Structures are given as structure tokens and as C-alpha cells.
Amino acid sequence: MALIELKHVVGGYSSVPILNGVDIAIEQSDIGVIVGPNGAGKSTTLKAIFGLLKVTGGTIEFGGENIANSLPDKLVPKGLSFVPQEKNVFTSLSVEENLEMGAFTRKDDYAQTMAWVYEMFPVLAEKRRQPAGELSGGQRQMVAMGRALMSKPSLLMLDEPSAGLSPRYVIEIFETIVRVNKEGVGILMVEQNARQALAFASKGFVLASGRNRFTGTGAELIADPEVAKSFLGG
């Protein structure tokens, strides 16, 4: 059974639907990448999973349970986590407090998880007392991911994690994602750095006009000339 499965999801901000039937399935071991033209509904798909807009049709199953239209404070304890593209750290809180906020829904002791996050991002351990607003773009992205990992999610969703990062950080971030995935966290992310992302993705989804246009492994999509021409910039 898939970790998360979207079946023909329809939804939008007002009465006009933005998603017209999106199908996505991800296993815990997968790295899924959503690509597509601007305005295709990629971010909207992630928001729909996370209960940030109204889903009017289809089902979203997570661990076998329909979670359509549940709110984040219900979803996070179930094992979902989301890193928005922008404004994804609490700038006035220290790095450590940022991580704590990620563990807000947990009732148990999260010291171990925090140690794990620091182990994965050693630079954060150094700066644990510093306000996150004083960090560089790449470091912030790590804080954001660390925050999302603090709830011990089984699925981590990321919206364009590499946007605006210099090539070196892009590499770092992608490496981190691969590492996190190896620790047993399913990944679903949206990327415009599509070629690079699909290169290590186990599943790829091409969305256009709120619908799936192509689905396959990352390698398949890169190899598909039609996909490459229309969506990956030739």
C-alpha cells in the first residue's frame, strides 16, 4: 500500500477548481518530484494535501486513511510535514526554538530527534542559539527542513527547495534530501530545477492545467523527448 495516494483530486481556492483530477502515489522509500509549467497547480497540490485549501473531489489517502480537508494540526501528528517555498523559518526565534516548534505536536521526548537533526546538519548545532533571521539562505533552508523533520514525519513535502539557491547549495540541499530519504522518510517535492531533481527521483509527475500529463520514474521522464521539450526546456 502506498504511503500517500491522491486519487483524482479536484479542488481550488474559490468555486473555480485549480486541480482537475490529480493522481499521485508515493511509497515510504520514494522520492517523488512534481514538475510542470507555471500555474499548473503544483503548489496547489501540496497545499491540498496539507489541508490548506478546499478539496471538492477525489480522495487523499495517507496510511490508508482519507485525510482530505484535515487541518495541519491533525496531519502533523499523523506523520506529514511541509516546507513552504518562502518564509519557511521563524526569523525572530533561535534555531533551537525553530526546531522545537516543529515538535509542537509531539507529546513524547524529542531530544533524540533533535540530536539526529543536529547530526545531519552540524552547522545548525553551532548556531542553535542564534536567531534564524541572521542565517544565510542555505542555512535557513536547513533550519526549515530540520523543523519539518522534528515531528518525525513519514512523508516530507517540499515546495521548490532549491529555488534561489546558488548552485553549490542546490547540490547540498539535494544531497540532504537523498540522505533524509535514506533514513526512511518519503519525499514529495515540487521542482523547477527539474532535470537535476528528476535525476535522483524515483517517481516523477508532470502536471499541466491541474492534471497529470505524464507519470513515471525520474529517468523515464528525462528520457521522454516530449516531456523534455515541453516541460524541461529541451
Partner 1 sequence: MDELVFFINRVLISGTVLGSIYALGAIGVTLIFGILRFAHFAHGDMMTMGAFIAFLLASVCTALGIVTPIPSGFLVLPVAMAITAVIALGLDKGFYAPLRKRGAKPVTLLIASIGVTLILQGLLRLIFGSGTRSFYQSEPKEIFRIDMSALGGSRPITITEPQVLMIVVTALLVLGLHFFLTRSRLGKAMRAMADNADLAQVSGINTALVVRVTWIVAGALACVAGTMLALDVALMPDLAFNIILPIFAAAIVGGLGHVYGAIVGGFLIAFAETLSVFNWTSVLRPLNDLLPEGMALPANLALVPTEYKLTVAFVILVITLLARPTGIFKGASS
Partner 2 sequence: MSFDAVIDVRNVSKRFGGLTAVNNCSLSVQRGSITGLIGPNGAGKSTLFNIVAGNIVPDSGQVLFDGQDVTGLAPHQLFRQGMLRTFQIAHEFSNMTALENLMMVPGDQPGESLVDSWLRPRLVKARETEVRKKALDVIDFLKLGHVRNELAGNLSGGQKKLLELGRTMMVDAKVVLLDEVAAGVNKTLLHDLAANIERMNKELGYTFFVIEHDMDLIGRLCDPVIVMAQGEKIAEGPMSEIRANAAIVEAYFGSPVEAD
Of 151, 162, 181, 193, which one interacts with partner 1 (CB under 8 A)? 151
Is the CB of residue 10 less than 8 Å from the CB of residue 55? yes
- Near partner 1 by CB under 8 A, which window of 60-68, 102-110, 112-120, 206-214? 102-110
Q: Is there binding between residue 58 and ligand ATP (CB under 6 A)?
A: no
Considering only residues 78 through 117, tell me which ones interact with partner 2, judged by CB under 8 A.
85-86
Q: Is 40 in the site for ligand ATP (CB under 6 A)?
A: yes
186 binds partner 2 (CB under 8 A): no
Read off φ and ψ for residue 4, nearest 5 degrees.
Answer: -130, 140
Taking the complex as a whole, how short is the minimal distance between the CB of residue 85 and partner 2, in angstroms? 6
* CA-wise closest residue to 187 among 155, 152, 147, 143: 155
Is 43 near ligand ATP (CB under 6 A)? yes
Pick 114 or 188: Cβ nearer ligand ATP: 188
Does residue 156 touch ligand ATP according to CB under 6 A? no
Size of the site for partner 1 (CB under 8 A): 25
Question: Which secondary structure element, helix H or strand E, spans residue 139, and what is its range?
Answer: helix 137-149
> Which residues have CB under 8 Å from 142's CB, separation 6+?
121, 123, 124, 176
Helices and strands per DSSP (H, E), number in the chain? 10, 10
Distances (CA, A) of 135 to 54, 65, 95, 97: 35, 39, 9, 14
Site size for Mg ion, by CB under 5 A? 1
User: Per CB under 8 A, does 28 bind partner 2?
Assistant: no
* 43 sits near Mg ion (criterion: CB under 5 A): yes
For 211, other C-beta atoms within 10 Å of its C-beta total 16
Which residues of this protein are in contact with partner 2, per CB under 8 A? Answer: 13, 31, 36-40, 42-44, 85-86, 136-138, 160, 163-172, 174-175, 178, 192, 194-196, 199-200, 202, 229-234
Which residues contact partner 1 by CB under 8 A?
50, 52, 71-73, 75-77, 82, 84, 87-93, 97, 100-102, 104-105, 147, 151
